[in-house]
Amino acid sequence: MIRRVFDVIVAVVALAIVSVPLLVLAAIVKIASPGPVLFRQARVGRCGVPFALYKIRTMRCSAPGALVTAAGDDRIYPVGRWLRRWKLDELPQFWNVLRGDMSIVGPRPEVERFVRQYRVAEQPILDSRPGLASVSALVYANEPELLRRASDPESTYINELMPKKVAIDLAYEQTRTLWSDVRLLGQIALFVAGAHSTSVVGTYAIAPDPRVNPGS
């Protein structure tokens, strides 16, 4: 209950602060790339219940492709790259938080196709409400670059990166407190601002999943 109250307060304050900037960003997106401002995608939430996740659209509308995004993906238009760099495309998810679909902190929600690949030991991650910010997103902030080097980015994500990310988030959930959430948010803010400290990432790094073969 305390965590939910925290989520609602943060979401309300954040939406009040970013409402005008969002209108400016919407105008920029409309000028920069034909199509809708918002990107809507079905994701799997707590207890496996699907919900519609919202982002500011950063890809060209007529650009089908993989469900994962590698660095240098040519589907992303120039302004979209800037939005992604500063995580501004994620701002509409404060609405998801206010609705109760998501929490401020929690495992990032996946699409159903990826969730179906969860192993039995990974299923408990669905007991947690998905979040706008997560430990695994901080540890694997270089995910787009890792995927860029992969011959098959989607397969690499499902078989290598996703199991490691789930393991990290599960480990965090076991000792999670409201204070640890606040601390994580501060560290993510520093990281996005350019303080890419290895000590920040190393705080949450865990041993690699022995079931994952990095060379596969």
What is the pTM (predicted TM-score) of this model?
A: 0.87
Q: Among all chains, which residue has been given the structure tokens 């969860």?
A: 118
CB 135 within 8 A of CB 163: no
- pLDDT tens digits, residue range 6-64? 999 999 999 999 999 999 999 999 999 999 999 999 999 999 999 999 999 999 987 77
Which whole number is the average pLDDT over 187-205?
A: 65
In this predicted structure, the answer to whether residue 215 has a pLDDT above a threshold of 50 is no
In a domain, 212, yes or no: no
Collapsing DSSP to helix, strand or coil, 139 comes out as: helix
Collapsing DSSP to helix, strand or coil, 42 comes out as: strand
Q: Residue 117 corresponds to which tokens in the numbers above?
A: 């690949």
Query: φ and ψ at 187, to 5 degrees?
Result: -70, -35
User: What is the total count of domains within the chain?
Assistant: 1
- pLDDT tens digits, residue range 99-108? 999 999 999 9
Collapsing DSSP to helix, strand or coil, 103 comes out as: strand
In a domain, 207, yes or no: no
In this predicted structure, the answer to whether residue 201 has a pLDDT above a threshold of 60 is no
In this predicted structure, the answer to whether residue 177 has a pLDDT above a threshold of 80 is yes
In a domain, 216, yes or no: no
**How confident is the model at residue 56, as a pLDDT?**
98
β partners of residue 43: 51
- Print the domain residue range for 55: 2-202
Q: Indicate the average pLDDT of the chain.
A: 89
In a domain, 189, yes or no: yes
Helix or strand holding residue 91 (H, E): none
In this predicted structure, the answer to whether residue 133 has a pLDDT above a threshold of 90 is yes
Q: Give how far the C-alpha of residue 97 lies from the chain's centroid of Cα atoms, to the nearest Å.
A: 13
In this predicted structure, the answer to whether residue 84 has a pLDDT above a threshold of 70 is yes
Band of the pLDDT at 65, cuts 50, 70, 90?
Answer: confident
Which whole number is the average pLDDT over 73-102?
A: 96
In this predicted structure, the answer to whether residue 206 has a pLDDT above a threshold of 50 is no
In a domain, 142, yes or no: yes
Q: In the chain, pLDDT over 70 holds for what percent of residues?
A: 89
Band of the pLDDT at 172, cuts 50, 70, 90?
Answer: very high
Which whole number is the average pLDDT over 150-174?
A: 95
In this predicted structure, the answer to whether residue 212 has a pLDDT above a threshold of 50 is no
CB 102 within 8 A of CB 124: no
Cα angle at 185 between 145 and 5, to 5 degrees? Answer: 135
In a domain, 208, yes or no: no
